[in-house]
Amino acid sequence: MDEYDKTKEFFSKNSQNYAKSQSHAKDDDLKILMEMLSLRGDMIGLDAATGSGFTAIEMAKSISKVYALDMVDNMLSETAKLAKENDLHNVITVKGYVDSMPFEDKKFDVVTCRRAAHHFADKDKFASEAFRVLRANGRIGIDDMTVPDSIINDLNNLERIRDHSHMHAASVEGWRHILSHAGFGDIKYRVYSRRMTFEEWLYPVKEDSPEGKESLEYFHSARDEFISGIEWDGKSFKKSWAVITGIKY
């Protein structure tokens, strides 16, 4: 059994819904990620686990070529469609896995991964692969959901109810350790947060589904430290994403 079977099933079924997600398309964490990477026109980039392709497309507006990697055919189709809609001809879709990338060593100047790493079975393997395919002085940019270490397990328990393919989100310190262990230096980060309604967070899962009902029950019965940390008020909460960059020296 492929360890990513649940992920493939979830995103194959929901590819069109994610392509319509305004949060994925327009939230400021995408802008922050692009700013922190200091992109140049002569760069070649890789967007790992590209999903609907929002990050790949945004990067392709500023650099010469972007490879969009994903293991789900439907998501790659959405990425190709989005590139066409934006009249971009420098986006190349590639099917493959983030922990065994189908690319030669030192091919890219920048590797990104936005809102996907919580689905990775082994983040250390992903970071090592990113390090391998980056050229000297190349940059990695990670953008993923986060909370402090003290409540990260609570967040992961909640997210697994909504999405059974969710594996593990990491805290900022967790990501710093992963990237440092892979060999990256000059690690910097920013945390982007905004309030999100329960319905918006649950999307594309329906509120009246078993997952929706169980998720709401989790909010009502969760530890006080978690509820306080995410500022849950009964209808909405503070959702946070860590944007982290590092350099391969």
For 47-79, write each residue's pLDDT tens digit: 999 998 999 999 999 999 999 999 999 999 999
Q: What is the pLDDT of residue 1?
A: 42
181-199 pLDDT per residue, tens: 999 999 999 999 999 999 9
Percent of the chain with pLDDT over 90: 87
- The answer to which of 4-8, 42-46, 108-112, 175-179 has the lowest mean pLDDT is 4-8
Using CA atoms, how far apart are residues 83 and 37, in angstroms rounded to an integer?
21
CA–centroid distance for 21 within its chain: 14
**What token pair was written down for 50?**
């590209």
Amino acid at the residue 136: A
Q: What is the pLDDT of residue 4?
A: 78
Are residues 115 and 144 in contact, defined by beta-carbon separation less than 8 angstroms? yes
What is the side-by-side order of every strand in the sheet holding 91-95?
91-95, 65-70, 44-48, 108-114, 134-145, 236-247, 185-197
Enclosing H/E stretch for 21:
none
154-183 pLDDT per residue, tens: 999 999 999 999 999 999 999 999 999 999
Are residues 170 and 181 in contact, defined by beta-carbon separation less than 8 angstroms? no
